Amino acid sequence: MNPPDISVLIVSFNTRDLLRRCLASLRDQAGGTGIETIVVDNASRDGSADMVEAEFPDVRLIRSPVNLGFGNANNLAFTQSRGRYLVLLNSDACLAPGLLDAASKRMDACPDVGMAGGRLVGPEGGWQPSARMFPSLLNEFLVLSGLAHRYPKSRLFGRFDRTWADPSEEAGVDWVPGAFAILRRDLIDRIGFFDPRFFLYYEEVDLCRRIRAAGCKIMYWPELVITHLGGESAKTLSDMEFSSHASQLTLWRMRSQALYYRKWHGLALAWSAKTLEQLWHWLRALRHRRSAPAKAHDSEALIRLWNRAWKETEGGRVSPPQPW
């Protein structure tokens, strides 16, 4: 049996109904592209794996007894894949008919491209961040301060999410989100897939850095339009009610942020990224201590979370035992 052109890798975690829509959209991928679909279910409790087994018998299902996170679940799927191209696809994303055929043809025509993403839109067609710059202390400050949100059309203030750019124009970029991306298998065979230390967050950024270091381009191709249900109304930390769930996710983000900065920029910049956010929230807590005690409490909790993440990762040097 000839190997397929594309292996679609999907990580599932308690998203049964969204996963059903995602897999249904893959059935509509017309053209000459051979496709295999691999779903790794991260110990879902909502019957996601049973739904896949019953309704999509052609999908290769891997049931993980524990939550492996995003990167490690994709690493597991990669070991079972056979396609010349790998497609990362979130379970809350849907593809237009023929999109995978178009993506593989673009990759065939651009041998210097190692990874490419498309244009992410919400259910009503609203823009979502689809291509970004690598994290830096400047970018962290612009997001934390709200300047990126306040001046999205500025090439300086809107640089991280490229909100200044025309979304209809293709571009070489630093990194693209894992909601949808197509990669060359032979490249991943050479440089490896996701760094297993990243349980959640920053795994795509790290991978794109390694792809760029290998001499390949990361591209944004806007003609590939993906409907992405998640993240449509992303909130900044300053707007988020600091629930226990938000606290857990924020801790995971901080751990991965520490690991990323230590890996790529060293101890000093890892410490600086932590301290920048802590300083920002110290000032925010000071400002709101009397006028908005709840906001002050949230900022104080975030400062403590950073101290915890820093300790648990030993300053960004090690990943805590997984699953987080």
% residues pLDDT > 70 (the chain): 94
Of the pLDDT bands very low, low, confident and very high (cuts 50, 70, 90), residue 239 is very low
Of the pLDDT bands very low, low, confident and very high (cuts 50, 70, 90), residue 30 is low
The pLDDT tens digits for 168-214 are: 999 999 999 999 999 999 999 999 999 999 999 999 999 999 999 99
Return mean pLDDT, the chain: 94
The pLDDT tens digits for 62-78 are: 999 999 999 999 999 99
pLDDT at residue number 247: 86
Q: How far is CA 294 from the centre of its chain?
A: 30
Of the pLDDT bands very low, low, confident and very high (cuts 50, 70, 90), residue 31 is low
Q: 10-19, 142-151, 152-161, 233-242 — which is least confidently predicted? A: 233-242
- The pLDDT of 302-307, averaged and rounded, is 97
The pLDDT tens digits for 76-132 are: 999 999 999 999 999 999 999 999 999 999 999 999 999 999 999 999 999 999 999
pLDDT at residue number 2: 82
pLDDT at residue number 42: 97
Kindly report the number of other CB atoms within 10 A of residue 220's CB atom: 22
pLDDT at residue number 3: 87
In the chain, list all ranges with CATH 3.90.550.10. Answer: 6-130+167-228
Q: 70-74, 229-233, 280-284, 285-289 — which is least confidently predicted? A: 229-233
pLDDT at residue number 231: 41
pLDDT at residue number 243: 61
* CATH value of 6-130+167-228 in 3.90.550.10, 3.40.1160.10, 3.60.110.10, 3.30.750.24: 3.90.550.10
Reply yes or no on whether the pLDDT at 220 is more than 80: yes
Residue 4 token pair:
């397929």
Reply yes or no on whether the pLDDT at 259 is more than 50: yes
pTM: 0.93
Reply yes or no on whether the pLDDT at 1 is more than 90: no
